[in-house]
Amino acid sequence: MNSATREDARRARRVATGAVLRRLPVCLALLLCCAAARAQTPPPRAPVAEPEPDAPSAIPPPDPCALPPGKDKRGINEYFKCLKSKYELVTVKGYHGLHFVHGSVAPGGGQAGGVGINHATTSEHWFTQSDASARVSIKKYWELDANLHLEKFPTSQTPCTTKLGPQNVTKFDLYGLVKDMPRLDYFGTGPESREQDRAVYHYREGVVGADFSTASERHCWLDVGGAIEGIFPDIRPITNPTVRSVERVYNEATAPGLGAQPAYLHLAAYARIHEARQPEARKFEYVFLYHVYQDLQEHRYSFRRFDMDLRNKFPIGANTELRVRGRLSLSETSEGQRVPFYLMETLGGSNIRGDDTLRGFRDYRFRDRDYALVQTEFLQRFYGPLDFIAFYDTGKVASSVSRFGDGRLRHSYGLGIVVVPRQLDNVLFRFYVALGTGEGSHTYFGGGGTQRGARLIR
């Protein structure tokens, strides 16, 4: 096949992928409209049960904004509890119908805002929630997201049901999303990539998928699950000549996958080992994922990946806690296959999913096929819901397990404050300054999480 024929075939595949991405927003918009219609339709009336003669009347939940008994004003702790309840009223939690959505589409895109709609129903054995949202940031990052979430409750009381409470359920998600990120940083691959080699690329990704997870009825410490997805990546051309774009600076050898972005079939197996207690009381949680990415068009970019995420919490008294988190990601390919740069894991700032990595470096600063990362955090509650945090991160990327000895081990440390801390790193607000990289400081000021719900990998 001559070069002209290969170029024609590549152009045809790009057109086909673009057509799929153009149709995905339409499909998501239809789901949004369906969810809106469903949200506005009143549910059928349930039969009214006759109250038992001696049954006590239901006690309404306490109002988080009510003044504490015997006080004429709120303290800071009560103020933040009230603020949290108002915040959740106009966002996703517990609200049916239209609501405000916010968060980050991707690190570097700034805070995004938009509208969402959701509807939830509960029966004897099932909880169902459908939601859809659209958000955009001032930097023109945008996202469309639609999700159908189902939970099946246990049919009988078991020891695990007693220990885990509402967490002992089987969960299903069916979803679709499109993200458009006009300026993502790329510094090359390897542990010694240079800051001055930075270039940017415009990345759009469409995903349709389904996942499930279930808690073991016999082993209260184990959850298992899996996911299947279709992924449609696309690197959009940057026509502005003043922008240092990846396509102008790099090539297929230095940025694998730059010349072609095929559609992928993505399969994932999931296991989570945790303390047999409710989530807020767990002192450890270990998550393992094994991914298979199958290139459906080019047959040059198929790979497999193993991810491990180990979280440990060590309480030191009533108001102090030490957290240690270790992460490892290892990729492997068959002969003639490569991992595309836009699907490689990254270290530096936050990764594409918004998880903190080497917080003192820029977002996406290092990337390669493999990485190892250890994070240590010291949290001290000093007033109401405010926690002081000191942290230390260390890690590196590598092209293979045997090459982890190459290059420098990177470090960063810093201080900050988190507000209304929730377990497993879910916080309402966080602020920190990270140093120690030799490349200046990195400051984060914003929300505590991406709030993507119960999906396993999105």
CA dist 103 and 109 (Å) reads 10
Tell me how far apart the terminal alpha carbons of the chain are, to the nearest angstrom. Answer: 39
CB-based contacts of 315, cutoff 8 Å, min separation 6: 283, 321
The pLDDT, as a whole number, for residue 8 is 60
What confidence tens digit (pLDDT) does each residue in 273-293 have? Answer: 998 887 777 899 999 999 999
Residue 38 has pLDDT above 80, yes or no: no
Residue 10 has pLDDT above 80, yes or no: no
Average pLDDT over residues 26-37: 47
Which own/partner pairs from 449-452 qualify as long-range (CB within 8 Å, at least 24 positions apart)?
449/103, 449/354, 449/425, 450/103, 450/104, 450/353, 450/354, 451/91, 451/92, 451/103
* Residue indicated by tokens 């069916």: 174
Task: Give percent of the chain with pLDDT exceeding 70.
Answer: 74
What residue ranges do the domains of the chain occupy? 3-40+96-447, 66-92
Residues 300/337, Cβ–Cβ less than 8 Å: yes
Helical spans, DSSP H, in 219-345: 246-249
Average pLDDT over residues 423-450: 78
What CATH number belongs to 3-40+96-447? Answer: 2.40.160.50
Residue 174 has pLDDT above 50, yes or no: yes
Dihedrals φ, ψ of 343, to 5°? -110, 5
* Residue indicated by tokens 């002992």: 168
The pLDDT, as a whole number, for residue 374 is 99
CA dist 458 and 455 (Å) reads 6
CA dist 100 and 128 (Å) reads 21
Taking residue 216's Cβ as centre, other Cβ atoms within 10 Å add up to 13
Task: Tell me whether residue 180 is exposed, middle or buried, using C-beta atoms within 10 angstroms of its C-beta: 0 to 12, 13 to 18, 19 or more.
Answer: buried
Confidence at 17, pLDDT banded by 50, 70, 90: low
Strands (E), 316-385: 320-332, 345-347, 366-368, 370-383
Query: What count of residues does the chain have?
Result: 458
Q: CA 153, 154, 156, 161 torsion: positive or negative?
A: negative
Distances (CA, A) of 128 to 68, 146, 211, 225, 451: 35, 14, 15, 19, 18
Residues 203/235, Cβ–Cβ less than 8 Å: yes
The pLDDT, as a whole number, for residue 424 is 42
- Phi-psi domain of 312 (left: phi exceeds 0; alpha: psi -120 through 50; beta: other): beta
The pLDDT, as a whole number, for residue 207 is 98
What confidence tens digit (pLDDT) does each residue in 210-268 have? Answer: 999 998 877 889 999 999 999 999 999 999 999 999 999 999 999 999 999 999 999 99
